[in-house]
């Protein structure tokens, strides 16, 4: 048997700071990797962090290693 299971929400550290939800002050987020269409056919890969309490979404553009 195989079950799909959501990962447990976890604290997220960005540049030495832990994310805190600006709406409910929660510190636990679900991490998702996604692609968004920004302008015309220009696609941007993004990391998003969804608050486990109120579903507020933080978006961060994913920068490939070669472009840094």
Residues near Zn ion (CB under 5 A) are: 21, 23-24, 26, 51, 53-54, 56
User: With contact defined as beta carbons under 8 Å apart, do 22 and 31 qualify?
Assistant: no
At 44 the three-state DSSP class reads strand
Q: How far is the CB of 39 from Zn ion (least distance, A)?
A: 29
Q: How far is the CB of 52 from Zn ion (least distance, A)?
A: 8
Q: How far is the CB of 26 from Zn ion (least distance, A)?
A: 4
User: With contact defined as beta carbons under 8 Å apart, do 31 and 10 qualify?
Assistant: yes
Tokens coding 20: 């805190």
């Amino acid at each position: 048997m195989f079950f799909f299971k959501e990962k447990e929400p976890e604290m997220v550290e960005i540049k030495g700071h832990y994310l805190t939800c600006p709406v409910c002050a929660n510190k636990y987020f679900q991490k998702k990797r996604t692609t968004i269409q920004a302008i015309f056919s220009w696609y941007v890969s993004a990391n998003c962090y969804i608050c486990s309490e109120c579903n507020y979404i933080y978006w961060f553009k994913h920068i490939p290693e070669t472009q840094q």
